[in-house]
Amino acid sequence: MDDPSPTGALFFAASDALTANVILKKLREDGKHNRTSAKKPSGFGDDGLVGLAIHPPKNGWWAVRDSADGAPGIASGEWSTVSILANHHHSTALWTRAWGDELAIAVELVRGGSFFQTYVGTRAEVDAFVDARGIDRAHARAPKEAGDDATLATIRYEPAKYRSGPDAPLVRSLLALRHALQSGDTAVVRTRFGALAHEHVPFGLAVMRALDDDATHATFAALAHELLAKPPMLREKPLSRMTFEEEVMRRVAERTDDESFFVACLDRLETIEGDAQRRTSHAHPAGVIRMAFQFWQSAPARAFACLSRVIARDDAPDWRHVNYALSAFLTANPGPVRLEGDGDALVRHTLARLPALGVEAARTVRYNLACVYARAGQLEEALATLAKAGDLRVHNPRPEADTDLEPLWKDPRFLALLAGKSASEAGVPVPSDVDTPLEELDLSDEAKEALASLELSTVAELVAITDPSGLPRMVVAELIEALAEIDVEWSPTTTTVPCDPPEERRVPRLEIDLEEGTESDVSSRLGGLPSAPSVDFEWPCSESRPMDFVLQIVGKAGGGEVELGDVHVLQVFADLEGEFYEDDWAIVMHREPCPAVLEAPVGVDVTPIRRMRFTEGFDDRILTDLEWPDDDDPLYDEHQAAHSHAWVDKVWGIPVAANLDAPSITDSEGQPMRCLLALSCVDDWFLWHVFVREDFAEAQVVAVR
């Protein structure tokens, strides 16, 4: 007998980052935008059209339901479109599906990722699982029944994309696994789990995570004893995926009161995770660190036991794990401590990790390391470490009341550091890094060549220079940053070299200042709604969805300030959810008046308006090619200095970015195009350029990281 038609829904926990448009944009990634009314499709037909209804939060949950199976499939669960949406927007997703009354599933993706839960059972059991989260299941209404407050859209899906699973046969296998776990028959559990296809293993692990009854925990304990009696089963490819044995060990270690059993399970889990991490940097070993945070408040000694194993895995553990380990060690050991065994190893791992850390991370770790030294009675080491931790109140608003530092409270040197005095002023001897060879600094080739020309060999020789006028300013800035990473301060005086190039090497530009605006009128601006000749103008779309409106510039022909030939308004649209730095963008050039304002299609956010105010700024001087090779050009230093004022929002001028310096952008006939616009303010990751042909017959976007 065939399974009944599936019915389901999708729910997202409300968060500040989540909106109906955000949900719609993400779900569209697995299909294509379609203009058909969302109330028209029914079921999943040959045309692949599916109507979608997104209902606003009720009881703290968004509700989504479509006209076919209720919600698109989530494949193997981990890193599906639904999972990524929850992960990127600090939410929890709950995906449900039922085949009649006897077979149903709920997949709970807390913050997305691969560590999710799956509950399988009858429809009534799964409904109870959903209800326990405070979700109103009736809120997920189909598009035909949706109210005016719902966001409606239609998506065209390929069958394999839409029905990617989990399907009824898989859910039936997962239900059999659940029953085996609750029955206590370890042989059946191992058989059921072993029968799962490789791509379905994440669901099997998720079923194990969702069960929390005494019978299941007794089964886990029995399985752990059986597994510990045999050699560990190490991960197979993909090495990023947890194994059955890891999940068993984690579940037992989290709950057992037997300390020796806890240590045995933890060590086995560490053996498997550590092996995977040594074999690939993409292992994502999460079991031990998750246990550390679970025990953080209830059992700090166990938290430290977990963290001490994590930081011992390699020579460069995550600095945050090192810092957590220091905190857990202090919490687990009230009063004076002895730096031996795990404590000694903790200090050694911390000291080995410090040199490679950035300035702020190193200072944070040093503060906690100083607390460990103080509790261990090693007061000179504690003071020397605090002296290199920067402003102590950044780490603790009241370090003078930090009980870990109590042995130092009355020490005048500690009080001097609290007052912001340097180590030498406080009388704290600190090992100096000024004897470090310059060749050990992580420097660019240009910086290395500049230092070689001055015949400098050590940090001490460099910081003795007060006026580095012989070094390019870009190199000076790089050296200051590199020295700060080894806690050496260098504050040289710099002189400004006037830039006065010959006329033929000037490249004028208009500098852009952005001001808040409130009205989508015919003006040069970012955000708002686009101007158009009429409301019938078609909104540009990518293959997957309507594009976002990014900006428009009004030419002199349209009453603006920028010379755009016969173009009244030039506009940029982009698919900001897709690969917009490649080709999912559109440039629209209106060559007639644009009195109308277009309305945004469903799923497109209208961003705040920022008006462009143009002023004649610096010339982009010297940024064209140098006249002579290397530094023989008499304007070489000015060429380097000009970069400091070139990274601005501007019209015309020379494009400059991390990997784009006066590029050779050509049109369809191979002729050079001119940089019309450079914007660094669109987002945090990309610098945008718009290039145009001299006659404005062609234009293109180049967005670089």
- Residue pLDDT, tens place only, 663-686: 578 888 888 898 899 887 666 556
**pLDDT score, position 458:** 81
Residue type, 27: L
**pLDDT score, position 203:** 97
Instruction: Indicate the fold that domain 232-426 takes in CATH.
Output: 1.25.40
524 φ, ψ (degrees, to nearest 5): -75, 125
Q: Which residue has the higher pLDDT, 233 or 634?
A: 233
Counting beta carbons within 10 angstroms of the beta carbon of residue 137, is it exposed (0 to 12), middle (13 to 18) or buried (19 or more)? middle
**pLDDT score, position 450:** 81
Strands, E assignment, 83-150: 92-98, 104-110, 117-121
**pLDDT score, position 447:** 81
Closest residue by Cα to residue 229 from 193, 270, 189, 268: 268
**pLDDT score, position 100:** 95
pLDDT, tens only, 179-227? 999 999 999 999 999 999 999 999 999 999 999 999 999 999 999 999 9
Residue type, 124: A
From CA 402, how far away is CA 54, in angstroms rounded? 50
Give domain limits for the chain. Answer: 7-170, 232-426, 438-484, 503-704
105 CA to centre of own chain: 30
CATH code of domain 503-704: 2.30.320.10
- Radius of gyration, CA atoms only, the chain: 31
**pLDDT score, position 184:** 95
Q: Which residue has the higher pLDDT, 314 or 485?
A: 314
Q: What percent of the chain has pLDDT over 90?
A: 62
Q: Once rounded to an integer, what is the mean pLDDT over residues 218-238? A: 95
Hey, is 452 helix, strand or coil?
helix
The tokens describing 290, both together, are: 């998750």
Q: Once rounded to an integer, what is the mean pLDDT over residues 266-291? A: 90
From CA 608, how far away is CA 682, in angstroms rounded? 12
**pLDDT score, position 679:** 86
Its pTM stands at 0.75
Q: Once rounded to an integer, what is the mean pLDDT over residues 315-319? A: 85
319 CA to centre of own chain: 18
Q: Once rounded to an integer, what is the mean pLDDT over residues 643-654? A: 70
**pLDDT score, position 262:** 98
Residue 631 has pLDDT above 90, yes or no: no
Q: Once rounded to an integer, what is the mean pLDDT over residues 92-106? A: 97
- Name the pLDDT band for 496 (thresholds 50, 70, 90): very low
Q: Once rounded to an integer, what is the mean pLDDT over residues 483-511? A: 63
**pLDDT score, position 112:** 85
Residue 443 has pLDDT above 90, yes or no: no
**pLDDT score, position 623:** 46
Q: Once rounded to an integer, what is the mean pLDDT over residues 144-155? A: 95
